[in-house]
Structures are given as structure tokens and as C-alpha cells.
């Protein structure tokens, strides 16, 4: 959900929104599109696009995706100036972007906690929450490395042919090219930090 600007903090804390808005405005201008035209293409209101371009609201991932499709550019292009100007990605508690990852099952909540600034490496830090209604994970297999740290609950986690019992405070760091994923949801709700990293040339 896009946030009210009055709830998103001071001007200092809205540097990310301002940078993203400025980049969207620049890309729109380069294509000689009006706010009304891009609003219609993206399926957003004129007022919402105007607020986003002025950095007055924090757009959701779904909104950024709609704008990227309307402008025929990848979502990451909106962060170009942010990557050039910043050396840190700060996400206040509870403000991670809700996302759907490929293969996500019912009851698995992903919150994206930041984005990488390195142009050669992609890093995706998530806070994952599993509830009483969560399905057991399908087995994942992808390039790169993955790190998980259990905060609460209990899981039996598979990596390759081995099973690892994870309790709060336990961590697992592994090559993500081997089949992996929670094999059994032992104690719920469960929360864990998951960090996935891989070279950008594998995207």
C-alpha cells in the first residue's frame, strides 16, 4: 500500500522517495509523456503519479511495477540515482516492501528489507514470516548463495540430502544451487531473516 506522506517521516527520511520520483519524472519527460498519459498506461490516478514524482508518497512494489511497464523500463532503473548517491539502504521497522517471490506458497509473507548498491552483485534481504496457515515449501533451487537466521518458531530445513533442525538463534549459510527449503514447519509462527545473493549477470 502506498503510504501517506505525513506518515513517512521527515524530508531527510524521504530521500529515497524523492530520488525515485525524480527518476520517474525524468524517464517520462524523455519519452515526451504527460502525467495523464503515464497515469492511464499504468492504471494509476493522476494525483498518485504526481505525488510519486514529487516524492510525497512511498510507492509500493506493485505501483513501481505498473510504472515500469508503462515506461517500458525495468523497476531497477528507478533506483539509478539512489545507487549513485547513497551507500546505505535504510528500512524502518515494519516498512519492508511486501513482495511475492516465484514459488511462494500460501501463508508465506516476504518483506524486502533493502536493495544492493553494487552494480555487479544483487543482494536480496528478506524477513519471512510463516503462519499457522502456511503451506510446506516446495523445494527451491537457484544460483548464488543464501543465508537464513531463525528469529522465532522452529523449522526442519532441507539443503540437498541433509535436514537441519533450526531453532531461534540458529543460522544456515549455503550454496543455493542445491535443492533447499523448509521440510517441516515444527513450531509456528516462524520468522527468519533470509539473504540471497548472486551476480547480476545471472538475472
CATH number where 156 lies: 2.60.120.10
Taking 90 as the threshold, does the pLDDT of residue 36 lie above it? yes
**Which range of residues forms the domain containing residue 40?**
5-85
CB distance 146 to 169 below 8 Å? no
Mark whether 81 and 101 lie in a shared domain: no
pLDDT in tens, 99-124: 555 444 455 666 777 766 566 777 88
Task: Give the burial class of 181: count Cβ atoms within 10 A of its Cβ; 0-12 exposed, 13-18 middle, 19 or more buried.
Answer: middle
Most confident of 16-20, 40-44, 54-58: 40-44
Last residue of a domain, one of 53, 85, 117: 85
Taking 80 as the threshold, does the pLDDT of residue 73 lie above it? yes
For residue 92, is it within any domain? no
Other beta carbons within 10 Å of 36: 11
Last residue of a domain, one of 30, 59, 85: 85
For residue 144, is it within any domain? yes
Between these two residues, 78 and 105, which has the higher pLDDT value? 78
Mark whether 111 and 77 lie in a shared domain: no
Please tell me the total count of domains within the chain. Answer: 2
Mark whether 181 and 112 lie in a shared domain: yes
Residues 6 or more apart in contact with residue 116 via CB below 8 angstroms: 89, 122, 123, 124, 197
For residue 91, is it within any domain? no
Mark whether 145 and 103 lie in a shared domain: yes
CATH number where 66 lies: 1.10.260.40
Mark whether 127 and 194 lie in a shared domain: yes
Mark whether 192 and 108 lie in a shared domain: yes
For residue 52, is it within any domain? yes
Cα 193 to Cα 2, 66, 113, 141, distances in angstroms:
24, 28, 10, 18
CB distance 147 to 172 below 8 Å? yes
Mark whether 62 and 104 lie in a shared domain: no
Mark whether 165 and 187 lie in a shared domain: yes
Mark whether 182 and 142 lie in a shared domain: yes
Mark whether 56 and 139 lie in a shared domain: no
For residue 172, is it within any domain? yes
Q: Of 24-33, 74-83, 187-196, which gets the smallest average pLDDT?
A: 74-83
Mark whether 104 and 195 lie in a shared domain: yes
Last residue of a domain, one of 20, 52, 85: 85
For residue 51, is it within any domain? yes
For residue 90, is it within any domain? no
Mark whether 78 and 159 lie in a shared domain: no
Confidence label for 9 from pLDDT (cuts 50, 70 and 90): very low
pTM of the model: 0.52
Taking 60 as the threshold, does the pLDDT of residue 199 lie above it? yes
Kindly tell me the sign of the dihedral angle through the C-alpha atoms of 149, 99, 8, 81: positive
Amino acid at each position: 500500500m502506498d503510504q501517506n506522506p505525513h506518515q513517512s517521516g521527515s524530508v531527510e527520511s524521504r530521500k529515497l522517495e524523492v530520488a525515485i520520483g525524480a527518476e520517474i519524472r525524468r524517464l517520462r519527460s524523455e519519452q515526451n509523456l504527460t502525467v495523464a498519459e503515464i497515469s492511464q498506461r499504468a492504471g494509476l490516478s493522476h494525483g498518485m503519479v504526481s505525488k510519486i514524482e514529487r516524492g510525497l508518497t512511498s510507492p509500493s512494489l506493485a505501483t513501481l511495477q505498473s510504472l515500469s511497464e508503462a515506461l517500458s523500463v525495468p523497476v531497477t532503473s528507478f533506483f539509478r540515482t539512489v545507487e549513485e548517491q547513497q551507500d546505505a539502504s535504510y528500512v524502518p521497522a515494519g516498512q519492508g516492501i511486501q513482495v511475492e517471490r516465484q514459488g511462494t506458497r500460501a501463508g508465506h509473507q516476504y518483506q524486502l528489507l533493502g536493495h544492493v548498491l553494487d552494480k555487479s552483485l544483487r543482494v536480496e534481504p528478506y524477513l519471512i514470516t510463516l503462519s499457522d496457515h502456511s503451506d510446506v515449501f516446495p523445494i527451491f533451487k537457484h544460483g548464488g548463495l543464501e543465508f537464513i537466521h531463525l528469529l522465532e518458531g522452529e523449522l526442519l530445513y532441507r539443503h540437498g540430502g541433509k535436514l537441519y533442525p533450526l531453532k531461534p538463534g540458529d543460522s544456515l549459510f549455503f550454496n543455493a544451487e542445491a535443492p533447499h527449503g523448509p521440510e517441516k514447519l515444527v513450531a509456528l509462527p516462524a520468522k527468519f531473516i533470509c539473504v540471497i545473493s548472486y551476480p547480476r549477470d545471472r538475472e
